[in-house]
Amino acid sequence: MAAPQFSPTPVLDTARFYSSPAVVPGPWMPNRPGEIVGFQPSGSQLGNQGPDQGFAIKIANGFKDRLQQRPGEHTADTIKGCLGVALRRASIFSRAPVVHDLTVAFTIWGFLDAEPPAELVAARSALFIGVGHEHHYAEARAIADMVPEATLKMTPQQVAGRYPANWRTLLGL
């Protein structure tokens, strides 16, 4: 890139120009030991891969003011428990998480409802307790795996329409 006219250059400097490197490296090949060939592996404790999954935390934090929690329920547990459900939904569609993924997750667990069914509150209280702590990965995975794929493929409007009456079906209970 040429220097602007107003920048001083010594008179004795030689003009700069492009020169090729002495050695041109060979083409890159995916032959590293950890390289994944084909699709991501699937199985127990491998989760659901997808792009830009960390963005779901930012989206979930935007729901903090709208969450309807009962005494004894903690925001960190609520977000972490529903985060796996939302990420699983996003990975089914092979995309990054969006606000609708979190809306579905919080709706099916009754966290967006001012008066959720008492049985649902009892079930979620037992499942979500302590999930916000980093050592409870298995419990968070169990919450994410509990929700049927058919529920995750629904639109937020479909979930909201079925939520109060059919919450057991939405959660696979």
Name the amino acid, one letter, at 125.
Answer: S
Whole-angstrom Cα distance, residue 84 to residue 143? 7
Look at residue 18 in the predicted model and tell me its pLDDT.
79
Task: State the first-to-last Cα distance of the chain, in angstroms, to the nearest integer.
Answer: 65
Whole-angstrom Cα distance, residue 122 to residue 4? 70
Residue 116 burial (CB count, 10 A): 18
CA 32 to chain centre: 27
CB-CB contact of 106 with 82 (8 Å): yes
Residue 46 burial (CB count, 10 A): 10
Name the amino acid, one letter, at 8.
Answer: P
pLDDT in tens, the chain (173 residues): 566 777 776 666 677 777 887 888 888 776 777 777 777 777 776 767 778 888 999 999 998 889 888 888 899 999 999 999 999 999 888 889 999 999 999 999 989 888 888 898 999 888 989 888 888 888 988 898 899 999 999 999 999 998 888 888 888 88
Look at residue 9 in the predicted model and tell me its pLDDT.
66
Residue 102 φ/ψ, nearest 5 degrees: -70, -35
